[in-house]
Amino acid sequence: MITYQKNLRKFRIVSEKSENYIKRAKIMSPTDAANYIYDFYENDIEIYESFFILLLNKGNGTIGYAKISQGGVAGTVVDPVIVAKYAIDNLAKSVVLAHNHPSGNLEPSEADKKVTRKIAEGLKLFDIMVVDHLILGPEKGEYYSFANEGNL
């Protein structure tokens, strides 16, 4: 009989004084998610396209987030395996995907739609739901919601 030792990730309570602290919030709408995620971006929101994942618990409370990739002015590469790893490692029940369009054009590209479907289908195998994919514009409050537009 072969025994495998599993490397289980240990969870700890993070205090507000820690640099890893994530402010707790309940995400009830695309606007809540967009306002929350917008704070992940710095002054480079108009320069680089960056892709984030917001991790939620069963009650839609935030439990974490991760920057998945940062690209150039016209795109970034998103690996669905990395997205799944963060969601599974943190025992997320649902996720919000988000990236920015430095151009200000909030319409999703075919690549945006394709990666959204691919991630949603993959996470569904683990009973993790993609509740939205947001495309953020350069100004806070400007966003496109896949869920609101029926593209999820």
CB 71 within 8 A of CB 128: no
What is the extent of the structural domain holding 67?
A: 40-141
Closest of 67, 53, 50, 57 to residue 27, by C-alpha: 57
Domain CATH number, residue 64: 3.40.140.10
Q: How far apart are CA 141 and CA 76, in angstroms?
A: 22
Provide the pairing of β-strand 50-56 with 143-145: unpaired
Residue 115 resides in a domain: yes
Per-residue pLDDT of the chain (152 residues; tens, 9 = 90+): 444 444 434 333 333 444 455 678 899 999 999 999 998 888 888 888 999 999 999 999 999 989 998 887 778 889 999 999 999 999 999 999 999 998 889 999 999 999 999 999 999 999 999 999 999 998 888 999 999 988 88
Quick check: pTM over 0.85?
Answer: no
The 3-state DSSP class for residue 43 equals helix
How many Cα atoms sit within 13 Å of 135 on the Cβ side?
21
The total domain count for the chain is 1
